[in-house]
Structure 1
Amino acid sequence: MGTERDSYDLVVIGGGPTGENLADRAHAGGLSVALVESELVGGECSYWACMPSKALLRPAAALADARRVAGSREAVGGGRLDAAAVLERRDAFASHWHDDGQAQWLASAGIDLVRGHGRLDGERRVAVDTPDGGRRVLTARHAVAVCTGTRAALPDLPGLAGARVWTSREATSARAVPGRLAVVGGGVVAVEMATAWRALGSEVTLLVRGGRLLDRTEEFAGQLVSDGLRAAGVDVRLGASVTALRREPDGTLLLDLADGTRLPADEALFATGRRPATADLGLDTVGLEPGGWIDTDDTGRATAVPAGWLYAAGDVNHRALLTHQGKYQGRIFGTAIADRAAGRPLDLAPWGRSVATADHAAVPQVVFADPEVAAVGRTLREARDAGLRVRAVDYDLGAVSGAALYADGYRGRARAVVDLDREVLVGVTFAGPGVAELLHSATVAVAGEVPLARLWHAVPAYPTISEVWLRLLEAYRG
């Protein structure tokens, strides 16, 4: 079979949310665009991460909320989730692992989809091995953008290769509820999947090598989540390390721990970090190290490729490993690529349309545990490490009228990190039931660098949990 050759203004490798957004903005800016995808258009988020994981978690949160209020508590009683119904709903949110709808959207947007494994093949060239065994070489007149994301990083442990362990993909797409699930890790994926599968009936043991959960958040957030998991029946073991594992002939997994004990399980999820999906991407053909992260400037250009035609967006550039930040970068970088191609001036000032400033100063994230954790910007420790003169303002969320109405015996906490020299917020964290929907107001305040004196005039509706904003400002003023 021969080699087909095509030319476009921009070639995007990777059809997840980041690649889709970058391609869309570049096309809207007047460029012809080809998007190369080796799996499903829509990427990790749509089929193995954000959507299926939150579909698994939402029924558990709804049931927990019902049990927190007198009246509804009695209505639901001691009933359990219908696991089959939850998994069926999860499948629907993952589009049953078909990407027809996403592919149709690309076509409607005027973006050409090229299915197959794409690799860089020298300057402005992408070679694609197509599913039919053919080969296409795509030449980019202006730019190539790598949006291939990450893969699960597994530790080098004796017995791991033959143990058939879960990564995040298996954890979000499993067809049945395991009787005993070991979760290795203490970050977001570990916490969320421990929450979901415990609610669905698994006996869950969470093995955390460090001394606390969610070590990149404020310490109180990790403690509240740990308390919530234990209350739900999860066996949370801090300072626990796996040294080896094996799968027995009957299917049982045996995990050897550093303290000399052995943990039996039916499945084991290793949520132990991510690595860039660049090992087979042809980076060496453009002078980059295969398998590494691709560093970029704030407009998305790969800093180690001086010619300026190679871009990287989303998780693969290691700026902020979150779907929504990848989509944000896609919008910013796609516009910058189109502007450069057309000779239009770029806006390179902080918060300008051509630079991804929020990657440094206003990254929001929600951990959908019970309780939820919602945070944006810097923690107190991060702000101090950055040399800022800051003050933390804390408030008991349970003392807010809206929170007391939301749940009987509401437990939660809020923290605002104030830059004392500018009197603006540089970080906000909420931990408690239902706090995810508070986050965007905090993100606007941090990204907008809204002066605290002006925030005083942003009146929260009564009685809502949002009244915590007023309480934080009152606590700051003293």
Structure 2
Amino acid sequence: MPHHTDIVVIGMGPGGKHVAGRLAEAGLHVTGVEAELVGGECPYWGCVPSKMMIRAGNLLAEARRIPGMAGRAHVTPEWAPVAARIRAEATDGWNDQVAVDRFTGKGGHFVRGRGRLIGPRRVEVDSETYEARRGVVVATGTRPQIPPVPGLVKVPYWTNRDAVAAKEPPTSLLVLGGGAIGLGLAQVFARFGTRVSIVEALDRLLPMEEPESSELITGVLRAEDLTIRTGTRATGVRHDGAAFTAGRQAGRSAPSGRSAAASRPGRAPIA
């Protein structure tokens, strides 16, 4: 027998959680379905923890500007407080019980699992069927897009989620793609001592934004000694157990004082 409800919301990320909560507060019987964490990308892997990382990196950058401007300062980067704060203050160790309780406290019914549409207003979750009297909201969100670079799927690469969960910064890091998320993580890790290279297939960083934005961020990152290669495609990735090596097609390079970090020991590329 199916479980009857007014609304089924598949995906309890930022959008789905908001819709489900508002409908429950309005007096409807709402069944929220989530396979991962209620709240989705923003509180656990995106907006909140990434801003903690960026804030920490900004503090280091500011302290390094003191000599010659306001006195003397010696800065020693330490990642442990950043990782601890992300776990304690942002993600609760990637536990969403507080968010689940907040939803059920509004009268919602929560189901942990992956929802699948099996008919009009019918959703299956782990062999249980939920039938909605009013309708189904599909808010399944997104995942990082993994570029089709030969060999990448065979190595332990990072996505933004792995980078946010890192307990220590890598020795070196190759970032595939010059979008906002990749650039933000690249700058943070560089400020904590990681040797960072960025490879962007199009002819400029932030290719979806105005050219002036690309020019500005390229100058900032180059001044912070990141290696930037635009108009360059990664042709393959290998991992020998200790180091990662990435092949590339010749392209334009925004000069810096460091060579590409892909062949040095360190963590996998961020895809």
- TM-score if structure 1 supplies the norm length? 0.52
Residue 262 to residue 201, structure 1, CA distance change in 2 (3 Å): closer
The correspondence of residues 253-332 of structure 1 with structure 2, limited to 5 A, is 253-259=244-250, 263-265=262-264, 266-271=266-271
**Which of the numbers 10, 15, 29 marks the counterpart of 1:13?**
10
Paired letter, 2:246: L
Corresponding residue of 1:101: 98
Corresponding residue of 1:181: 173
Paired letter, 1:251: A
| Mapped contact 2:196–2:261 kept (Cα < 8 A) | no
Paired letter, 1:264: S
SS at match of 2:115: strand
The correspondence of residues 63-102 of structure 1 with structure 2, limited to 5 A, is 63-68=60-65, 73-74=70-71, 77-92=73-88, 93-102=90-99
Deviation, structure 1 residue 24: 1.5
Corresponding residue of 2:255: none
Alpha-carbon distance between aligned partners in 2 of 1:209 and 1:78, rounded to the nearest angstrom: 38
What's the CA shift string for 1:206-265, capped at 9, x where partnerless?
1111121112222212211111111112111122210011111x3211101113999414
Corresponding residue of 1:236: 228
Alpha-carbon distance between aligned partners in 1 of 2:237 and 2:119, rounded to the nearest angstrom: 42
Paired letter, 1:192: G
Deviation, structure 1 residue 204: 0.4
Alpha-carbon distance between aligned partners in 2 of 1:220 and 1:65, rounded to the nearest angstrom: 24
What's the CA shift string for 1:244-298, capped at 9, x where partnerless?
11111x3211101113999414223344xxxxxxxxxxxxxxxxxxxxxxxxxxx
Corresponding residue of 1:127: 124
SS at match of 1:152: coil
Corresponding residue of 1:153: 145
Residue 24 to residue 201, structure 1, CA distance change in 2 (3 Å): same
**Structure 1 residues not aligned, in runs of 5+:** 130-134, 272-478
**Which of the numbers 200, 203, 206 marks the counterpart of 1:208?**
200
Alpha-carbon distance between aligned partners in 2 of 1:50 and 1:262, rounded to the nearest angstrom: 27
Alpha-carbon distance between aligned partners in 2 of 1:103 and 1:209, rounded to the nearest angstrom: 41
| Mapped contact 1:10–1:31 kept (Cα < 8 A) | yes
Deviation, structure 1 residue 38: 0.9
Alpha-carbon distance between aligned partners in 2 of 1:78 and 1:222, rounded to the nearest angstrom: 31
**Which of the numbers 37, 57, 60 marks the counterpart of 1:60?**
57
SS at match of 1:121: strand
Alpha-carbon distance between aligned partners in 1 of 2:261 and 2:101, rounded to the nearest angstrom: 50
SS at match of 1:139: strand
Alpha-carbon distance between aligned partners in 2 of 1:270 and 1:70, rounded to the nearest angstrom: 33
SS at match of 2:146: coil
Deviation, structure 1 residue 156: 2.0
Alpha-carbon distance between aligned partners in 2 of 1:145 and 1:193, rounded to the nearest angstrom: 33
- Give the aligned length: 261
Deviation, structure 1 residue 74: 3.1
Deviation, structure 1 residue 194: 0.4
Deviation, structure 1 residue 175: 2.1
Corresponding residue of 1:110: 107
Residue 178 to residue 70, structure 1, CA distance change in 2 (3 Å): closer
| Mapped contact 1:154–1:270 kept (Cα < 8 A) | no
Residue 29 to residue 72, structure 1, CA distance change in 2 (3 Å): farther
Paired letter, 2:14: P
Paired letter, 1:161: V
Corresponding residue of 1:332: none
Paired letter, 1:268: A
User: What is the alpha-carbon root mean square deviation over aligned residues?
Assistant: 2.2
Corresponding residue of 1:222: 214
**Structure 2 residues not aligned, in runs of 5+:** 252-259
Residue 72 to residue 26, structure 1, CA distance change in 2 (3 Å): farther
SS at match of 2:212: helix
Deviation, structure 1 residue 72: 8.0
Q: Which has the larger radius of gyration?
A: 1
| Mapped contact 1:67–1:73 kept (Cα < 8 A) | no
Corresponding residue of 1:49: 46
What's the CA shift string for 1:149-193, capped at 9, x where partnerless?
011111222211211111111111122211010011010111111
Relative contact order (alpha carbons < 8 A, sep ≥ 6): 1 or 2 greater?
Answer: 2
Percent identity over the alignment? Answer: 36
Q: Does 1:197 align with 2:210?
A: no
Alpha-carbon distance between aligned partners in 2 of 1:174 and 1:105, rounded to the nearest angstrom: 28
- TM-score if structure 2 supplies the norm length? 0.89
What's the CA shift string for 1:428-460, capped at 9, x where partnerless?
xxxxxxxxxxxxxxxxxxxxxxxxxxxxxxxxx
Residue 157 to residue 216, structure 1, CA distance change in 2 (3 Å): closer
